Amino acid sequence: MRFLVVGANGFVGRPLCKELARRGEPCRAAVRSANPPIENVEFVKTGVIDGQTNWSDALLGIDVVIHLAARAHVMHENSDDPISEYRRVNLYGTINLAEQAALAGVKRFVYVSSVKVNGEGTKIDYKFTETNQINPQDPYGVSKSEAEQALHLIASRTNLEVVIVRPPLVYGAGVKGNFAQMLKVLAKGVPLPLASAQNQRSLVYVENLVDALIACAMHPAAAGQTYLVSDGEDISTLDLLRRLGAAMGRPARLFPCPAALLRLAGQLSGKTDQVERLLGSLQVDSGKIRRELNWTPPYSLQQGLQATAEWYRTTHL
């Protein structure tokens, strides 16, 4: 089975290519620009990804496409028309790639979507499932949802098998965004008003996501399915900070503050979304992929957090 990984330069793409190569699976990495090589992985430059990208060379001889490339969600959107910018890459770029893949005889198309298709949050102990009504709240989530629907339409009129994967927050070596900022604050020993945070969030370690994507690419039962994936152990912001701090050798300095007061401060400072990510819950039920594909995360949440902390300590401290 020959793989094409689209977005192979990214946070998930590089470890995915490395793992495929380690398993002896022929892998071609589609990237926009040159990057450090990976042993036993073929690289092909594709340039900008949109509805006009020519994929003919990249798709030659490919059996499975794993599509990771996307216009990523950002906290501070600067575009005057963000939905159009997201659709250009996440919707039209995906449609173009899938249609060319079907014409090229590709058997399976694994699309990495987002839990944001389900929504922005859950109540404690209520978990998103694949059967929930979709409820995307922002342009990124809408574009991902639209891409999912478009892929199912393509699959219905071609021989292309489509598999959708919706991960929650992904962490691991090389993580960026809010998780990286959390590590930075812990490393500096900044006191945080989060000792009372009793939310619950699902996470997925990057190496667990890589393993799940390969299972979705290879397991016969995955065709046509949508899967939520996580480490299987949810965690509060309080426990997350404590575990990461301990693993880094920089114990978290936490003090209590009412959640209502923190949310008010977020509103006044224009940081409502950031505060809600620290205080709100977002849980997913990954039981479907475990049952149907007999998938079990190869790493526990604690192992993932430990590895992430060790990476940060060795590269930033």
SS (H, E, C) 240-299: HHHHHHHHHCCCCCECCCCHHHHHHHHHHHCCHHHHHHHHCEECECCHHHHHHHCCCCCC
Residue 277 lies in a domain: no
**85 with 71: CB under 8 angstroms?**
yes
Count: domains in the chain:
1
Residue 32: per-residue pLDDT: 85
> Is 190's pLDDT higher than 90?
yes
* 88 within a domain of the structure (yes/no): yes
* Mean pLDDT within 130-159: 97
Q: For residue 76, what pLDDT is reported?
A: 59
pLDDT digits (tens, 9 = 90+) for 51-88: 999 999 999 999 999 999 999 866 556 777 889 999 99
The reply to whether 20 falls in a domain is: yes
Rounded Cα distance, 314 and 302, in Å: 18
As a whole number, mean pLDDT of residues 201-229 equals 98
pLDDT number for residue 77: 60
Q: What is the pLDDT of residues 26-35, one digit of tens each?
A: 999 999 877 7
CATH number of domain containing 112: 3.40.50.720
The model's pLDDT over 283-297, given as tens digits with 9 standing for 90+, comes to 999 999 999 999 999
Please state whether beta strands 108-112 and 203-205 pair in parallel, antiparallel, or not at all (unpaired). unpaired
Position 47 scores a pLDDT of: 87
Tell me the mean pLDDT in the region 89-116.
98
The end-to-end CA distance of the chain, in Å, is 41
CB 171 within 8 A of CB 213: no
Residue 124 pLDDT: 85
Kind and range of the H or E element at 187?
helix 177-188
Domain region containing 21: 3-171+203-232+283-298
Task: Note whether residue 261 is domain-resident.
Answer: no
Query: What is the CA 180 to chain-centroid distance, rounded?
Result: 15
Over residues 131-159, the mean pLDDT reads 97
Task: State the average pLDDT over residues 205-229.
Answer: 98
| Residue 260 counted as domain residue | no
CA distance 200 to 278: 10
Distances from the Cα of 77 to the Cαs of 15, 71, 73, 235, 239, in angstroms?
28, 12, 9, 29, 30
76 vs 97: CA distance, rounded Å: 28
CB 207 within 8 Å of CB 232: no
Annotated catalytic residues are 140
Q: State percent of the chain over pLDDT 90.
A: 89
Q: What is the pLDDT of residues 4-55, one digit of tens each?
A: 999 999 999 999 999 999 999 999 999 987 778 898 999 999 989 999 999 9
Q: Look at residue 101 and tell me if it is in a domain.
A: yes
